[in-house]
Structure 1
Amino acid sequence: MVEQMSPLGDAYVPGSHGNFADGTGVKISLPQPGSIVEATAWPGREAALAGAIERVTGLSLPHHPGGGVVTGDRSGFGIGPRKWLLTDAAEGLAETLRDALGIENGTVTDLSHGRTAIRLEGERAEWVLAKFFALDFSSDAFPVGSGRATMHHDILAQIQRTGPSRFNLYVFRTFARSFWRVLCHGAEEVGYEVR
């Protein structure tokens, strides 16, 4: 395994920050999955891709954008028609899935070195995210497992709710430091802890 340098550099400052006099509203961390993969089915081959994903990961994913699943160290959600974002704590998911899928059914792209995962969790997580994205983050509109592909200004963010008050955000590695700083700034008034 090749050790990666953090894209956050000196922006990563562990500890408590902002207004935490009444407690910490959110925690911000870097979960560092071993694999971040985008899988796309050719038209009419969605079932073949869904079957390959289930065989390789055990995830049974819905066939519509936004639907998703979180189980243990693996997760996945629809980011567009015939397209899913998958994560695994282990490395090598792209190669294994590519072999299981076959080129006649779709494509698999390893995004592990091009994306950074950021986790935001806590009782004020929905409120902090609503500052940046025009989405309804309530649990009724955005249930556990589901995800959205959206933008904050020019920064693409793929967001999955991975727990009742926990979200994983996937951003381009080159924008990670800038996005991290903005997210921390937005969490200052509720108090945040960097882990």
Structure 2
Amino acid sequence: MAEQVSPLGPAWVPGRHGRADGEPGVVLSETRPGSIVQAAAFPGSEKAIIAAIRKAAGLSLPDGAGGGVATDTKAAFGIAPGRFLVVDQSEGLADRLRAAIKPAEGAVTDLSHGRTAIRVSGPLAEWVLAKLFAIDFSLTALPLAAASATQHHDILAQIQRTGPESFDLYVFRSLARSFWMMLCHAAEEVGYEVR
């Protein structure tokens, strides 16, 4: 397969930016997973979809929207009632989910080419993200692996806490460059590093 081209284009500038003294407040990176897939349950089939995600991706989701699970290479979380975003660093997840989900139970949509995955990590990640989104990013309100679907103006973002100081954000590929530039601007005063 051909190498995936980043939608960030010339906005992607590796290195240190913003406030130069001390350690950077955040580290920004594009993770480029091989698979980003939405699994949607038809009414009454949520448990069957959760079981299919466990079978196809090896991830055990809790019941209910907002819950999630994350490993070093995979993640899954609820984005709405009966809808889940499932991410894998390897390709082929959509096919594995389609094989695990009966047609009467739900639908699978491969979003791999329509979404961009951005990681925001570091000691001031919560603070920088709170400048953009009207949600509580504290560990108590958004615990490890939990997620939220929200937006900044017209840019939809699905956000999952993947570590104590780390968040993965999924945004529409067509809006990724604009979102990235806004994120960099929000991080300037604390200093950020692009990796």
Give the TM-score taking structure 2 as reference length.
0.98
Q: Distance in 1 between matches of 2:154 and 2:164?
A: 28
Distance 1:182 1:63 in 2: 34
- 2:60 alignment partner in structure 1: 60
| TM-aligned CA deviation for residue 22 of structure 1 | 2.2
Which digits, 9 at most, give the CA deviation of each residue in 1:55-84, with x for residues without a partner? Answer: 111111122111100023110110000000
Match of 2:140, as an amino acid? D
Residue pairs, 1:1-195, within 5 angstroms: 1-195=1-195
CA RMSD of aligned residues (A): 0.7
Q: CA deviation at 1:16?
A: 0.1
Query: Where does the alignment leave 5 or more consecutive residues of structure 1 unmatched?
Result: none
Q: How many residues align?
A: 195
Cα pair 1:63 1:82 within 8 Å, conserved: no
Q: CA deviation at 1:25?
A: 0.5
Output the amino acid matched with 2:53. I
Q: Does the Cα contact within 8 Å between 1:75 and 1:87 map onto a contact in 2?
A: yes
User: Identity across aligned pairs (percent)?
Assistant: 61
Structure 2 distance, partners of 1:143, 1:66, is: 10
Runs of 4+ in 1 over 3 A off after TM superposition: none
* Partner Cα distance (2:90, 2:5) in 1: 18
TM-score (norm 1): 0.98
Offset at residue 119 of structure 1 (A): 0.4
Letter in 2 for 1:46: E
